[in-house]
A and B are shown apart, each in its own frame.
Chain A
């Protein structure tokens, strides 16, 4: 089984080579994306077969001498394989249609299959060496894809920042694995688990993993690259990066913190939970302030990663205190949300790609009324937006509900720090969920409803059939897993059992479709019942509106703001509610302090005929105060180090000599 996955990876790599050769021809796109789709489906089938089980490992005689390269599939990696390959298959299908609009396909085609292969290989790697190698390959391949549109200066900057952050993250993971492997160099995961080491190495390794994997996943404040790099890539790659690659980072964290590092200290959970909750709130707040559709979706990814990490933090805390059932609930919630996020975030990015191509712009303030021109793709977008806004009966609600149920179990934790922090984090998560709803209402309302805000939006056209098929497929999965979350939870049970000790109890038959968190007497959630209720009530409401509302007399007002007869042309642009206006209350309340949001109104001098101008400015303290300051610091240090290039020969000799002496002294003192 593992060997079959390796063959799939080889097939992807071969497709990459084919892409490099055929990239300038039309057939190249069909070969690469079609081939990637086929291989992804095969790998998905293998992964589905491997779910819950353990496949014998494979050791390849590659890599460092004497270490080799091990691959294995256990329940955790099988679950993430399903996620990766389902996302990969959907993105490949979408790209079959969307890729036609690629300006420079030769910058995308060779790297796309390599990216897929690298993500698969990271998940099935069973030693530190292979893991880091493919992690780095994943980073590099995605960097190349980000740089596809390298002519824009912002893209180049995003690529540079991404490269820096990816290298720093890999360094953190390298150090974490080094600590775990110990002085004997036990690099195989099995050997790491079997070895005994002092607790402080596990503590430091967990923190390093949080930094390394967190920077790739987009945890605050290591997220600065993400909202710049993810939107810069072509849309199907954005979907892969946001929906799938961040999950590979989640996998890396789970693998190290839950599996390799051994028993957790209680404060691990606190650190992870805090990082997750802060990311969730700040991420979605920034999404709410953003005008670019894809950047907004990238910020929303930070929010969802925050939710996932909050779940993981809860699971760590519960597990450290021996509350296995509560830990399994939190872990199930985190894993389920990771899967759900892949489904709806990919759909949303596909939709954003359709908007970008169909309307020629990604700015919300230039869109509007797309539901009339993109009738089909508006439906999966609506479903995905509702799912990510956590509306029942969709899958996003199911996983966030489970997460909040886990938060409610916090009184049983013994440490006072956790007792106080978990409810606070729960409040932050609830705030994030509310912001997310506002954010998605804003996205859908501004882009699809109302009237067009620009000529480009007025003449937008629908996406092609294949792209729509990919969107509809993922959106229907959102509905299916929303109505029957037990389907997914049953498959996650072996993973949770392995990492948390026990899994949520499964119940047979129809009653199994109702979600019952740990204490059954507290609450339960029956999605089918809720769906029925929603269908009945909204059906009645629609019926009522149509029966009684349509009879009302309508008249067009001469001033045209009644919209009825004035027509699109009569309506001056800018009279509609704008995206900036929609988010203004939240911007003023929450972002004035956090992001130094300022509204500026420039009035023309009296008598002038120029229009008044309104501008809303926000600054990201992490970017301006953190990333840019850090970059300046690095530049200065590089300038200093540059002087080493111009020393005298004697000084170079002296440096060699002193180094030798220090090494000898080290040997003499510690050997």
Chain B
């Protein structure tokens, strides 16, 4: 984590704060039970990611990271949330409330995941310097919380949100770890985009056929009622 010039501890501290804020927002997402609010928090998540990556770009003097930051803010904080809002309105599901597993249990699980990732990183990356280690731990907890979200939510839109949170965590880890090629980032970004499109199209198809966006309807269609 040695940059050509050595910024002071404050600079690293700020990067750390941003990463921590990202984890906080991830936890916030866990207890959103209305879809429009969830999408708003997702936008906040992506915006924070953009700022964190931009800060890393300045720290590491890595201009390509600015592009990543721009993608994060432009696409994920603005374009995709807007599109999701439109979907929610067109599907008329903005009043829907999900309760899978209960909010408090999910929050507890999320906190457990943060603890687990800290523990893992402390054990495995003992020789790395403390800041990088904790950055990685925070990124890992964002990824795990994203997966938790995908697993606990039943609505396809919230599953998209979980998936994007997971991807944000990946980008955070990559940006902090210095030296991830731009090609990889762009391909990750595109894969997100494609996944978004596919899932979006899929949503409408589900809606057309089953009159709901609950993915359990798909299972019922397969003859496997859960």
Interface residues of A (CB under 8 A from B): 646-651, 653-654, 656-657, 660-661, 664-665, 667-668, 671
Contact = CB atoms under 8 A, between A and B. Distances in A.
A657 B216 CA distance: 19
Contacts of A647: 224
Given A648-B224, A657-B151, A661-B116, A671 B219 contact: no
Given A650-B150, A657-B150, A661-B113, 19 more contacts: A648-B216, A648-B218, A648-B219, A648-B226, A650-B154, A650-B215, A651-B226, A653-B147, A653-B150, A660-B147, A664-B116, A664-B117, A664-B120, A667-B123, A667-B124, A668-B119, A668-B120, A671-B123, A671-B124
Given A648-B216, A664-B116, A668-B120, A657 B147 contact: yes
Name the residue among B117, B147, B222 with the largest chain A CB count within 10 angstroms: B147
A569 B120 CA distance: 89
Contact of B148 (A649, A657, A664): A657
A651 B100 CA distance: 13
A649 B218 contact: yes
B123 A668 contact: yes
A665 B117 CA distance: 9
Contact of B151 (A653, A668, A671): A653
Interface string B181-195: 000000000000000
A487 to B, nearest CB: 64
Contacts of B148: 657
Contacts of B154: 650
Given A665-B116, A667-B120, A646 B150 contact: no
Interface of B: 113, 116-117, 119-120, 123-124, 144, 147-148, 150-151, 154, 215-216, 218-219, 222, 224, 226
Nearest to B109: A661
Contacts of A668: 116, 119-120, 123
17 contacts: A646-B222, A648-B216, A648-B218, A650-B151, A650-B154, A650-B215, A653-B150, A656-B147, A657-B148, A657-B151, A660-B144, A661-B116, A661-B144, A664-B117, A667-B120, A667-B124, A671-B124
Contacts of A667: 120, 123-124
Nearest to B220: A648
A647 B113 CA distance: 25
Which 3 pairs between the two chains have the least Cβ-Cβ distance?
Answer: A668-B119, A648-B219, A668-B120
Contacts of B219: 648-649
A555 to B, nearest CB: 86
Contact of B224 (A646, A656, A665): A646
A469 B127 CA distance: 74
Nearest to B219: A648
A671 B120 CA distance: 9
A649 B215 contact: yes
A648 to B, nearest CB: 4
A653 B150 CA distance: 8
B42 to A, nearest CB: 19
Contacts of B222: 646
Contacts of A656: 147
A656 B222 CA distance: 21
Contacts of B224: 646-648
Contacts of A657: 147-148, 150-151
A639 to B, nearest CB: 16
B205 to A, nearest CB: 15
A120 to B, nearest CB: 47
A650 B163 CA distance: 13
A31 to B, nearest CB: 56
A380 B144 CA distance: 75
Contacts of B144: 660-661
A671 B151 CA distance: 27
Nearest to A670: B123
A659 to B, nearest CB: 11
B102 to A, nearest CB: 16
A665 B123 CA distance: 11
B151 to A, nearest CB: 5
B162 to A, nearest CB: 9
Contacts of B218: 648-649
Name the residue among A649, A667, A668, A671 with the largest chain B CB count within 10 angstroms: A668
A111 to B, nearest CB: 44
Name the residue among A646, A648, A654, A667 with the largest chain B CB count within 10 angstroms: A648
A660 to B, nearest CB: 7
A592 B147 CA distance: 63
A646 B221 CA distance: 12
Nearest to A661: B116
A668 B112 CA distance: 13
Contacts of A654: 151
A664 B116 CA distance: 8
B133 to A, nearest CB: 13
B61 to A, nearest CB: 33
A253 B31 CA distance: 62
Contacts of B226: 648, 651
A657 B154 CA distance: 16
Contacts of B215: 648-650
Contacts of B147: 653, 656-657, 660
A670 to B, nearest CB: 9
Name the residue among A649, A660, A665 with the largest chain B CB count within 10 angstroms: A649
B166 to A, nearest CB: 11
A650 B117 CA distance: 23
A536 to B, nearest CB: 84
A483 B113 CA distance: 78
Contacts of B150: 650, 653, 657
Nearest to B151: A654
B175 to A, nearest CB: 22
B159 to A, nearest CB: 8
A644 to B, nearest CB: 12
A653 B153 CA distance: 11
Nearest to A663: B120
A648 B148 CA distance: 16
B139 to A, nearest CB: 14
A646 B116 CA distance: 31
Nearest to A665: B116
Nearest to A643: B224
A650 B158 CA distance: 12
A650 B124 CA distance: 30
A650 B113 CA distance: 19
A496 to B, nearest CB: 52
Nearest to A671: B123
Name the residue among B113, B123, B218 with the largest chain A CB count within 10 angstroms: B123
B137 to A, nearest CB: 11
A665 to B, nearest CB: 6
B110 to A, nearest CB: 12
B198 to A, nearest CB: 14
Contacts of A660: 144, 147
B219 to A, nearest CB: 4
